[in-house]
Amino acid sequence: MVKPLPARDEVDERFTWNRQSVFGDEGGWEKAMQEIFSRLPDLAEFKGHLGDSPDTLADWFEASERVHRLMAKVMVYSTMAYSVDVGNQESAARADRARSTAAQLGSAAAFAIPEMLQIGLPKLREWVGTAPRLAYLGHYFDRLEKLQKRVRSAEVEELLTAVSDPLASALSVHSVLANTDLKFAPAVGSDGELHEVAQGTIGALLTNPDREVRRTAFESYADQHLAMQHAMAASLAGGVKRDVFFARARRYASSLEAALEPSHIPTEVFHNVVRTFRDNVGTWHRYWRIRRKILGLEVLKPYDTRAQLSSTVLEVPYEQAVEWIVEGVAPLGDDYVAAMRKGAFEDRWVDVYPNKGKRMGAFSTGAMDTPPFIFMSYNNDIYSMSTLAHELGHSMHSYHARRTQPYVYSNYGLFQAEVASNMHQALTRRHLLATKTDPTFQVAVIEEAMANFYRYFFIMPSLARLELEVHERVERGVALTADALNKLMADLMLEVFGSEVDVSGRDRDRIGSTWAQFHTHLYSNFYVYQYATGIAAADHLVGRVAAGDEKAVESYRAFLRSAGSMYPLEGLRMAGVDMTSPEPVEAAFATLASMVDRLEKLAPPMAPATPPHEWGGVSLRPSP
């Protein structure tokens, strides 16, 4: 009998995020929505007057900030409610209303940048130097100057902002299909026991030591996505056409350029990742060979690529995971640790466990006037601990940025974001490898590392290659179909599997559906390559930070605080890494290779089950 996930209202409140800290109830949210609409006419009064005086321009920035900060709270609150129960129609309606309101606000403010450019950058810089209320905006105007050739007239900017809401429908459709309409058959263990397959459980099922659980979970999950493949392909085609539309509207040469230039990142950084990845796929082939031998299998199948390698299961309760992460990031300072611990335990930043209707994935969210919340589905294993470390890295990045920077610089790009998240994982991993010397425990930690590399140095670069190809196809006027997407995805994954993973029959279509299984990433316009740059930058910096090098720690924390006040590549140079060079990505692959070496030495072919071990309340028990 399959054990059902709890309904949302059955989850212990201690392990849910504190939505009431944003608004006390839906009435408070409605009041905020009304206030936003009441302020739109106030913003309109500035139109045509920003150049009247420095004080008028300063008044605009303050008025715009007030309403945008309130809008951010509205968005966070509605996202928090919808993500934990995507079947709740009231929450879905509020999320949709919030998106529409944000688009209206964007349209109301769209005149400002074209009007500032009409004032002229020399005059704006003069005001920055002479008007104290504008003194902090120097970097803002520098960015504006670099992007001014992409800015259209006020009327066109208003239209482009207004259409952002309907053009986001493709993502909404894909998300509803994936998180609400897909109904997965349960996985079946070799003992006949049923295991519920859901967005919040699939990760744990694919690492299960029982091969039948893995196989049936893999097949159930992929087959349901294949059942929806044509609708999902149509949605993705809509998302890519949106990207191409905006790129052409702003006169970019390509969608890739349109995605990277606003963050001041040269396209060569993207191509460095892809080239270095392709040059190093042999490391993955070697890993599959070693994995097959350790598992004692004649043939390695796709559902074995994440299988647990040890004959024991490391169970890591949430509370222990937080403690190990705290110990790992301790070099970043006592104040850093205290804030993170308080958020994870007392202030309920984290929505911890799976429940029925909870959407897939994990993310950090929040705004200037809210805590940096974390969404995840914790499964009491080391992989969940790794995800928690990752998202706490994002949240601590936001915590420092929002407490340090003025609103206009409080946000940071994805390129910076993935460095902070991967730094947490790298610090935690190094701590555990240095302090837990039992070989079985070490194998578990290396498995976590390899799972991280699997996602960020295999799946994400493969998705980045797919993303580039599908955007270029749409730019050439080629239609995107499910069959074409499945074939392209399967070909890309087979390049990394090589001859070491047996992908035959229906399994080719199943791995080909991987594009459909990433329900938000491919709608974020060249987001996924930044996982690889993030892990590379963190890997480059972690040694000196973990060693407590005061200069390295302070420069890294300065990077966290800098947020949008610096260009992303400059902020990383300040921290100590040059991401315009392929060297950091190459060095990260060297780390991956060293993990494979270490695994080969530590993990002989499946040893007999060992007696249970305990480390501070964490059990390491024999696998079933």
3-state secondary structure of 375: strand
**CA–CA distance, 543 with 410 (Å, rounded to integer):** 28
- Identify the helix (H) or strand (E) that includes residue 586: helix 583-602
Where b means 16+ CB within 10 Å and e means fewer, 403-423 reads ebbebbbbbbbbbbbbbbbbb
Strands of the sheet with 312-314, listed across from one edge? 312-314, 618-622, 613-615
CA 120 to chain centre: 37
Backbone angles phi and psi of 122, in degrees to 5? -60, -45
Q: Which amino acid is at 390?
A: H
3-state secondary structure of 350: strand
C-beta separation of 406 from 136 below 8 A? yes
Which residue has 């104040």 as its token pair?
A: 335
**CA–CA distance, 317 with 444 (Å, rounded to integer):** 15
**CA–CA distance, 423 with 416 (Å, rounded to integer):** 11
Q: What angle do CA 282, 284, 289 make, to 5 degrees?
A: 100
Q: Which amino acid is at 398?
A: S
On the CB side of 469, how many CA atoms lie within 13 Å of its CA? Answer: 17
**CA–CA distance, 94 with 97 (Å, rounded to integer):** 5
Instruction: Output the six-digit token pair for 576.
Output: 């100590």
- Give the start-end residues of each E strand in 361-513: 363-365, 373-375
Expressed in percent and rounded to 5, the helix, strand and coil fractions of the chain are 70, 5, 25
Long-range contact set of residues 190-199: C-beta below 8 Å, sequence gap at least 24: 191/624, 194/1, 194/2, 195/2, 196/2, 196/3, 196/4, 196/5, 197/221, 198/5, 198/354, 198/356, 198/358, 199/358, 199/359, 199/360, 199/361, 199/377
Q: Is 391 a catalytic residue?
A: yes
**Catalytic site residue from 196, 391, 448, 500:** 391
Cβ neighbourhood burial of 22 (10 Å; 0-12, 13-18, 19+): buried
Query: Catalytic positions, please?
Result: 391
